[in-house]
Chain A
Amino acid sequence: MTAMSQSPSLEDEQVVSFARLALDSIVREFPNKPGQVYTGPESAVVPREIHPVFYGSFDWHSSVHGHWMLVRLLKTQPNSSIEAEIRTLLHTQLNADALLVEAAYFDEKQNKGFERMYGWAWLLQLAHELHTFEDDDAKIWAAHLKPLEDQVVALLLGYLPRLSHPIRTGVHPDTAFAFGMELDYARAVGNKELEQALVAKVLSFYQDDVNYPVQYEPSGEDFFSAGLNEADLMRRVLTQQEYVAWLDAFFPGLADGAMGRVLTPTQVSDVTDGRLVHLAGLNLSRGWTLEGIVSALPDGDQRKDVLQAAAIAHRKVGLEYVFSGHFEGEHWLASFAIYLVTQAGITQG
């Protein structure tokens, strides 16, 4: 039911400035927060030794989605003036041997929960982007990534039956966000087993939710709206008719714009604070989830205007924070911006 439209094209200058943020961050090793489990003196090494590909961008998941963003730009904005530079970096980064080390990292018992499920979701988004890119380089990179991709898929399939409750939060562990990307991946690559496991889990967690407590959002460090993530996820698993009814029950005030502060963009008090700057990302992710919901509603649904207006407002405020000059935001916000402006959650492929 989603609109399979082309991604909007960007000005060359925009492509260059977005790409530049990722090109710089990906090879910047410090500061870095590996969040690793230390198991002895062998763990006391620089991040690059443990993660020869995704050692930059402050943390593993940000590096993964920085790579994804570069692939996404190559794919949706062909022939940009920075294309050659992006390809050169990705050839160096997405190297077969280095990616084998990244894959092997998850073999260790203490690493099996590493980056679960936020980093996993972005990794699958990267794989998804490569698999659906008709491009000679992309085919090579996809092949190099395959061992890590397989590792993550296996971990995910092992994790889903053990996950007893949804995790509802506006930060990394939010399950609705991860499920959305994982489902997009499973469908794009035709992994029926994963798709079915995800759909069953999603329905059991969220189908009966009503009267979402919009007035309790946002939390101070949110970069997601847990409520909008959920609504953006449910459009992926329900028919249009079911979805219209589900959304009525979930956000009963939506048609009247009675959504607490969820439809109003949030300002950031300090862009140099790594956690407070999360709210900049909140604007961008609200933007794409609002657009996702719109894409699933039938023409004439009166909620579309409310959602569309809010999406535009969020996009505007969110994009203002992307180029702050501070690494706290710049190591990740560009990916969020590109996910939004290239409509990665709506246009498949």
Chain B
Amino acid sequence: MFLTVLLFSCISQAPTPATYPESLTEEEISIFTKTAMESIVQEVPWTEFKTYLGEESVVTPKELHPTFYGCFDWHSAVHNHWMLVRILKTHPGFEGEQVVRDFLHKQFSKENLRTEAAYFENLKHSDFEEPYGWAWVLLLALELRTWENDVDAKIWAAHLHPLEKQIVNLFSGFVPLIPAPERHGMHENTAFAFSLAWDYAHALHLTNLEKSISKRAQDFFLKDVNYPSLYEPSGKDFLSPGFAEADLMRRVLSQNDFQSWLTSFFPNLENGRLGNMLTPTLQSGAMQGAYMHHIGLNFSRSWAMEGIVLALPNEDSRIDILLNAASLHREAAMDFVTTGVYDGDHWLPTFAVYLLTSRGLE
């Protein structure tokens, strides 16, 4: 139960910097920051998600996205920047801190971030990175704006603001429009994006956006019962649709309501039965591409389980089962967090830091 105590303690005391637990080792900080800074400026290979509108679209990723042109794709570039900020914020004084700050000063230049924002002004680009990349932009903005007493963070937040504003507008339009949630475990997953955006709206008091997400979450998910846990995971999942949904619902429901919703949703959880979802997914195949997704799945399952635990009352018998499984998933995932293979290294450390620094629990 130590972990539970730790989780609750970080909730009650966050976000004052002094209270963040030392959740990363010096070695992890060194590897993760180094990997991120290398990936962020690595221009190729890069996956294009953009729509070519004509000859004018034939430009290099760096011309189009002067900040987020690396890391294989735009959303990974965004969340690697988030990761660097998160490490700076939660582990002040680590060796190499100034190098990271200098790096971010360059990356978060006012001009470059204006160009990133301007990309979304063209309506034909307005579904670019919807909703996954958007959610990570909001988390990055949240991290910067809730960082008290840091001069750099204030500057970076101000520079990010035009992009943040674009994304808030797009997200606010997107939430009421979607007819049904996307339930697969990849980028388009609705519950995951909603969770990140809800955290952003909640912490920064964007009441309309928060209410809108809460309402849609309930429209979509409140009546779900007997989740088909035997049908997880899919071959390319890096999110568990079932856990992502539960991790969203704990945000939007009262403790009582969540407790009973969870009982209907995962009726056999108290007996330790949840299909394949309590056992880490291990990969025997080659360490590349889609296979890396299952390593990310182990990370994201782990943080979702911790999130669910956070929302349950102390005496709830499901807590031990979930924490045990969360810990197994964390260990399985950490074995492969960096492998020297770019397919994984360009994004998995971010997932590790989201989990290890308990980002979702604030």
Interface residues of A (CB under 8 A from B): 30-41, 43-47, 110, 113, 162-171, 173, 175, 209, 211-213, 215-216, 218-221, 269-270, 273-276, 279
Chain A nearest CB from B50 CB (Å) reads: 7
Q: A164-B285, A168-B231, A274-B127 are in contact. Are A38 and B47 (CB under 8 A)?
A: yes
Q: A30-B52, A164-B284, A168-B234 are in contact. Are A44 and B182 (CB under 8 A)?
A: no
Instruction: Assess whether B291 is in contact with A38, with CB atoms less than 8 Å apart.
Output: no
Q: Most chain-B CB neighbours within 10 Å: which of A39, A166, A212, A216?
A: A216
**Which residues of B are found within 8 Å of A45, using beta-carbon distances?**
58
Instruction: Assess whether A221 is in contact with B48, with CB atoms less than 8 Å apart.
Output: no
Stretch at the interface among B80-88, B183-191, B246-254: B183-191
Stretch at the interface among B147-155, B163-171, B173-181: B173-181
What are 8 sample pairs from A and B whose C-beta atoms fall under 8 A apart? Answer: A30-B52, A32-B52, A36-B47, A168-B234, A215-B224, A218-B180, A219-B181, A269-B179
Instruction: Assess whether A34 is in contact with B188, with CB atoms less than 8 Å apart.
Output: no
B235 within 8 Å of A by Cβ? Answer: yes
Which one of B45, B47, B224, B235 contacts A35 once the chains associate, using CB atoms below 8 Å?
A: B47
Instruction: Assess whether A164 is in contact with B188, with CB atoms less than 8 Å apart.
Output: no
Instruction: Assess whether B228 is in contact with A165, with CB atoms less than 8 Å apart.
Output: no
**Which residues of A are found within 8 Å of B228, using beta-carbon distances?**
211-213, 216
Instruction: Assess whether B179 is in contact with A279, with CB atoms less than 8 Å apart.
Output: yes
Instruction: Assess whether A31 is in contact with B52, with CB atoms less than 8 Å apart.
Output: yes
Instruction: Assess whether A219 is in contact with B182, with CB atoms less than 8 Å apart.
Output: yes
Which one of B48, B60, B182 contacts A34 once the chains associate, using CB atoms below 8 Å?
A: B48
Instruction: Assess whether A33 is in contact with B51, with CB atoms less than 8 Å apart.
Output: yes
Having A33-B49, A219-B182, one finds 6 other A-B pairs with CB under 8 Å, namely A34-B48, A39-B44, A165-B234, A169-B184, A213-B226, A269-B179
Q: A31-B124, A216-B228 are in contact. Are A166 and B234 (CB under 8 A)?
A: yes
Q: Which of B253-300 contact A (CB under 8 A)?
A: 283-286, 289-291, 294
Chain A nearest CB from B93 CB (Å) reads: 38
Q: Which of B37-62 contact A (CB under 8 A)?
A: 43-55, 57-61
Q: A32-B52, A33-B52, A221-B188 are in contact. Are A216 and B235 (CB under 8 A)?
A: no
* Interface pairs A-B: 8 shortest CB-CB: A213-B228, A165-B235, A169-B184, A220-B180, A38-B46, A167-B235, A32-B52, A220-B178
Which one of B184, B234, B286 contacts A219 once the chains associate, using CB atoms below 8 Å?
A: B184
Which one of A35, A39, A163, A275 contacts B49 once the chains associate, using CB atoms below 8 Å?
A: A35
**What separation, in Å, do the CA atoms of A170 and B224 have in the docked complex?**
19
Instruction: Assess whether A167 is in contact with B236, with CB atoms less than 8 Å apart.
Output: yes
**What separation, in Å, do the CA atoms of A162 and B284 have in the docked complex?**
9
**What separation, in Å, do the CA atoms of A244 and B59 have in the docked complex?**
55
Instruction: Assess whether A39 is in contact with B45, with CB atoms less than 8 Å apart.
Output: yes
B233 within 8 Å of A by Cβ? Answer: yes
Write the B80-105 contact mask toward A (1 if CB under 8 angstroms, else 0): 00000000000000000000000000
